[in-house]
Chain A
Amino acid sequence: MPETAVRVKTWPSHGLHVRTPRYLRGKCGVIERDLGSFPNPEELAYGLPGTPPRRLVRVRFTMAEVWGAAAENPADTLDAEIYEHWLEPVEG
Chain B
Amino acid sequence: MSTDPEKTLRYHDMGGLEAGPVDLSEHDYALWEKRVDALMVLSTSRGLFTVDGLRRAIEDMGPDAYETMSYYERWIYSVNRNLIEAGAYTADELAARLQAVAARGADYATCSLAEPGDA
User: At the interface with chain A, which of B9-17, B67-75, B91-99, B107-115?
Assistant: B9-17
Residues of A near any B CB (own CB < 8 A): 10-15, 17, 21-23, 25, 41-42, 44-47, 66-67
Majority DSSP secondary structure for residues of B touching A: loop
Closest to B17 in A: A23
- Asked whether B28 is an interface residue with its Cβ less than 8 Å from the other chain, the reply is no
Select which of A14, A22, A25, A44 is within 8 A of B52 by beta carbon: A44
- Asked whether B56 is an interface residue with its Cβ less than 8 Å from the other chain, the reply is yes
With A12-B4, A21-B15, A67-B16 as known contacts, state yes or no: A47 contacts B53, CB within 8 Å. yes
**B52 in contact with A12 (CB, 8 Å):** no
Question: Can you name 10 A-B pairs with beta carbons within 8 Å?
Answer: A10-B5, A12-B7, A13-B10, A17-B52, A22-B5, A41-B50, A44-B50, A45-B50, A45-B53, A47-B49
**B5 in contact with A12 (CB, 8 Å):** yes
Closest to A43 in B: B52
